[in-house]
Amino acid sequence: MTESLAAPAPAGSRRPGWGHRLAPHGALLALVLLILFNAAFTPNFLTWQTLNVNLTQVCATVIVGVGMTLVIATAGIDLSVGSLMAIAGALAPLIFLGHLVPGLSGPPAIVLAFVVPVAVTAALGWFNGWLITRFRIQPIVATLVLFIAGRGIAQVMTNGNLQVFNTPGFQWIALERVAGIPVQAILMAVVVVVAAWALRRTLFGRRVLAVGGNETAARLAGVPVVRVKRGVYALSGALAGVAGLIVVARNSAADANLVGLGVELDAIAAAAVGGTLLTGGRASVVGTLWGALLIQLVRYTLLANGVPDAAALVVKAGIILAAVVLQVRRAP
Amino acid sequence: MSLAPPVPVTTNPAKDAALRHLGQWGVFLALAALVLFGWGRYENFLDPFNVMSVLRYNGMFALVALGMAFVIMTGGIDLSVGSTAALASVASALASAHGVVAGLGAGLAAGLLVGTVNAVVIVRLRVLPFIATLATMLAASGCALLLAGNQSVSVSYETGFTELGQGDLLGVPVPAWIAAAAYLAGSVVLNLTALGRTVLAVGGNEDAARLMGLPVDRAKALVYLASGGLAGLAGVILAAQFGAGQPIEGVGWELFAIAAVVVGGTLLTGGVGSVGTTLAGVLLLGLIFNILNFENGLGWISLSAYWQSVVRGVFLLVVVILQSRLAGRAEEA
């Protein structure tokens, strides 16, 4: 499942043991074990409702996490995603409630409420990539700019007020179900599948990994490094925008102070647990999905069995560390 | 994090050094310009009351940023400082009934504990600092909530513990004294001790430092310990200043500290850094908030507090672009 451009281990090297063979699927294995545990011990676990609750809780993290995985694959990082979610979440209601353009309403307003916020966050993501490539600013610092300013922009746009709404035409993205499955979960699955395919099978995906593996070599090999980097940050911004829309649609309210708060760290944690190397060059989109589901299900399991949320945080920290330590051991 | 662009190669060390000095002195110039602007524009800007309240409020941020500066100089990062401060504020509030020393000690111990975990995970288990401190950030936050029972913990007002945050000594706020002492010590360590030189060597090139026989692991462990301890002290001041241990405070402190360090001219790639400019960076970001307040007071415009983060972000943007320009010119020289 893990995509990398690294050469296979030379023949004659020590035969990998079971642990080594299982390690790439560690997050998935842990997830399966946890599901089995819950099926045995947590009452009412194997129901549609449990599945839907967990899927909707994890949806925004996974969608943001996919973009984050691609960014990390280029040896970058994007701290601005939470703030971009807040911007998208603040913009959409402003548009369909007619506060931004007076008199705009009905289906055109709804369409614009989907298109404009995502376009704006994609442009802001591209701006991140531009800072990084044009001025050679490290990704962590460059995206820190919008992390700090972005939420401020969203708060200024709404004056820090809660925007409450009841607009089914917009909220179907979070509340509607198809064959019993929430639309947002379907959207999440589509994003994961397309990104996993793109990373594995397309030129763009190969280039992303090449840039992360060895940027100088990639440049010498004719990879358009600048374009690839700006592309992944724009994509990360666009996906953050989508996640922001889903969150405000689900809550029937947009709160610029809270939408997307801390999601950047959840997304990074999911990617790390899923086997993506933070130093770039090795990434797994599907792994990020398993990582996010694992972290979510651990929290659910603890809560369902009466462990307080605060203790769940400590356990989450333990899982992240354990996953990464296992990866370090596996690395040559 | 090893997400660094290539290190600029220079053929003219003198010019390079001059440009770097300009980058480091730039923050003092900007700070002086901002102070002059405020002095000329607002009537009470340099009143002792305003100056002292800025110093009082920014003392804890200064402590956190100092620890962060040392960590960043080794090429690492510490995301756990905010929740460490929250944990320390709860611990010190709980212990404050037993006296000032107990409160101070409990907060410091909590900070050092998180710092120790960071050091062990990063140095022994070889986990990337970003991920390691991300995990301890979550864990410290969880511990703070558990210890506090999900609510603010009031400090004891009988033992004089609140003096640590609200008191004055010779007319200067106690948090400012604590921060000043820490910066003095930090400056001595960085400039006059072998440890300070090792910290910069590790950040410059860890492999080379190791091959030279420098105690790389010890230096790395010590900076995370120091960062934890300073965050602990910041937590003590937080509790004393607001009269309560606050388990959910400290969110975003780590990124504010990183911004202050970057504004102060310390490169995130490690190997370059200064203690004094970090303090200037903290004061610069803190003054922006102060000046926005005064500007609102004038009544010409009414900027909400939300503009503060926009202005800070734009400020950070300008600084990093200028820094990159300076580095670029050093490269061409």
Indicate which CATH number applies to the domain containing A274: 1.10.3470
Predicted confidence at residue A23, as pLDDT, reads: 54
- d(CA A327, CA A325) in angstroms, rounded, equals 5
pTM: predicted TM-score of the whole model, two decimal places: 0.84
Tens-place pLDDT, residues B184-243: 999 899 888 888 888 888 888 888 888 888 888 999 999 999 999 999 999 999 998 888
* Residue B172 resides in a domain: yes
Cα distances from A320 to residues A55, A271, A330, B225, in angstroms, run 20, 10, 16, 21
Interface of A with B in 229-268 (CB under 8 A): 261-262, 265, 268
Strands A3-4 and A282-283: antiparallel
**Residue contact A135–B268, C-beta within 8 A:** no
Let me know: does B272 contact B73? Beta carbons within 8 Å: yes
- d(CA A202, CA A199) in angstroms, rounded, equals 6
The residue-averaged pLDDT of A259-266 equals 87
Interface of B with A in 263-292 (CB under 8 A): 268-269
Q: How far is A122 from chain B (nearest CA, A)?
A: 19
A320 touching B (Cβ < 8 Å):
yes
Nearest to A328 among B127, B255, B309 (CB): B127
Which residues in chain B are contacts of A159 at CB distance < 8 A?
304, 306
Q: How far is A43 from chain B (nearest CA, A)?
A: 26
- d(CA A55, CA A63) in angstroms, rounded, equals 12
**Partner residues linked to B168 by β-bridges:** B173
* Residue A18 resides in a domain: no
**Residue contact A151–B309, C-beta within 8 A:** yes
* Residue A2 resides in a domain: no
Which residues in chain B are contacts of A266 at CB distance < 8 A?
none
Tens-place pLDDT, residues B133-162: 988 998 998 999 988 888 888 777 777 777
Chain A / chain B CB contacts < 8 angstroms: 163
The residue-averaged pLDDT of A112-122 equals 94
- d(CA B173, CA B157) in angstroms, rounded, equals 18
Structure tokens at A146: 């919008």
Tens-place pLDDT, residues A175-201: 888 887 888 999 999 999 999 999 999
- d(CA B103, CA B279) in angstroms, rounded, equals 26
A100 touching B (Cβ < 8 Å):
no
**Residue contact A148–B150, C-beta within 8 A:** no
**Residue contact B312–A141, C-beta within 8 A:** no
- d(CA B189, CA A165) in angstroms, rounded, equals 57
Nearest to A149 among B126, B314, B320 (CB): B314
Find the closest chain B residue to A211 by CA distance: B3
**Partner residues linked to B154 by β-bridges:** B244
Interface of B with A in 188-207 (CB under 8 A): none
Predicted confidence at residue B299, as pLDDT, reads: 64
B134 touching A (Cβ < 8 Å):
yes
Which residues in chain A are contacts of B206 at CB distance < 8 A?
none
Find the closest chain A residue to B129 by CA distance: A278
The identity of residue A39, as a single letter, is A
Q: How far is B317 from chain A (nearest CA, A)?
A: 6
**Residue contact A159–B127, C-beta within 8 A:** no
* Residue A71 resides in a domain: yes
Q: How far is A107 from chain B (nearest CA, A)?
A: 32
* Residue A268 resides in a domain: yes
What average pLDDT is seen over chain A?
85
The residue-averaged pLDDT of A221-244 equals 94
**Residue contact B131–A268, C-beta within 8 A:** yes
Which residues in chain B are contacts of A312 at CB distance < 8 A?
142
Predicted confidence at residue A4, as pLDDT, reads: 63
**Residue contact B255–A142, C-beta within 8 A:** no
Which residues in chain B are contacts of A318 at CB distance < 8 A?
135, 139
Interface of A with B in 78-97 (CB under 8 A): 79
Q: For A139-163, b where at least 16 C-beta lie within 10 A, e where not — what string?
A: bbbbbbbbbbbbbbbbbbbbeeeeb
Tens-place pLDDT, residues A19-58: 555 555 778 888 888 888 888 887 777 788 888 888 888 9
**Residue contact A151–B325, C-beta within 8 A:** no
Tens-place pLDDT, residues B116-138: 999 999 998 888 888 889 889 98
Element at A67 (helix H, strand E): helix A48-73
Given a cut of 60, whether residue A234 has pLDDT beyond it is yes
Let me know: does B71 contact B224? Beta carbons within 8 Å: yes
Structural domain count of chain A: 1
**What ipTM was predicted for this assembly?**
0.80
Average the pLDDT over each of A100-104, A134-138, A314-318 and give the range with the smallest value: A100-104
B318 touching A (Cβ < 8 Å):
no
**Residue contact B138–A317, C-beta within 8 A:** yes
Tens-place pLDDT, residues A286-323: 999 999 998 888 888 888 888 888 888 888 888 888 88
A196 touching B (Cβ < 8 Å):
no
**Residue contact B327–A136, C-beta within 8 A:** yes
Let me know: does B108 contact B227? Beta carbons within 8 Å: no
* Residue B305 resides in a domain: no
**Residue contact A320–B306, C-beta within 8 A:** no
Q: How far is B290 from chain A (nearest CA, A)?
A: 17
Structure tokens at B151: 């609510």
Structural domain count of chain B: 1
The domain of B147 spans 60-275
**Residue contact A148–B146, C-beta within 8 A:** no
B248 touching A (Cβ < 8 Å):
no
Question: How deeply is A294 buried, as exposed, middle or buried, from its count of CB atoms within 10 A (0-12, 13-18, 19+)?
Answer: buried
Predicted confidence at residue B300, as pLDDT, reads: 64
Let me know: does B19 contact B333? Beta carbons within 8 Å: yes
Other Cβ atoms within 10 Å of A129 Cβ, number: 28
A133 touching B (Cβ < 8 Å):
no
**Residue contact A77–B3, C-beta within 8 A:** yes
Predicted confidence at residue A18, as pLDDT, reads: 52
- d(CA B127, CA A279) in angstroms, rounded, equals 11
Nearest to A140 among B1, B128, B132 (CB): B1
* Residue A76 resides in a domain: yes
B4 touching A (Cβ < 8 Å):
yes
Cα distances from B270 to residues A79, A138, B18, B20, B267, in angstroms, run 20, 12, 19, 14, 6
Find the closest chain A residue to B326 by CA distance: A135
Which residues in chain A are contacts of B150 at CB distance < 8 A?
308, 310
* Residue A11 resides in a domain: no
- d(CA A260, CA A247) in angstroms, rounded, equals 8
* Residue A4 resides in a domain: no
Structure tokens at A114: 């989907």
Of B106, B112, B110, nearest to B156 (Cα)? Answer: B106
The domain of A116 spans 23-330
- d(CA A254, CA B29) in angstroms, rounded, equals 41
Which residues in chain B are contacts of A79 at CB distance < 8 A?
255
Of A57, A121, A123, nearest to A89 (Cα)? Answer: A121
Interface of B with A in 66-95 (CB under 8 A): 77, 79
Share of chain B above pLDDT 90, in %: 23
Predicted confidence at residue A110, as pLDDT, reads: 87
Q: How far is B53 from chain A (nearest CA, A)?
A: 24
* Residue A59 resides in a domain: yes
* Residue B196 resides in a domain: yes
Let me know: does A115 contact A230? Beta carbons within 8 Å: no
Question: How deeply is A271 buried, as exposed, middle or buried, from its count of CB atoms within 10 A (0-12, 13-18, 19+)?
Answer: buried
Predicted confidence at residue B328, as pLDDT, reads: 59
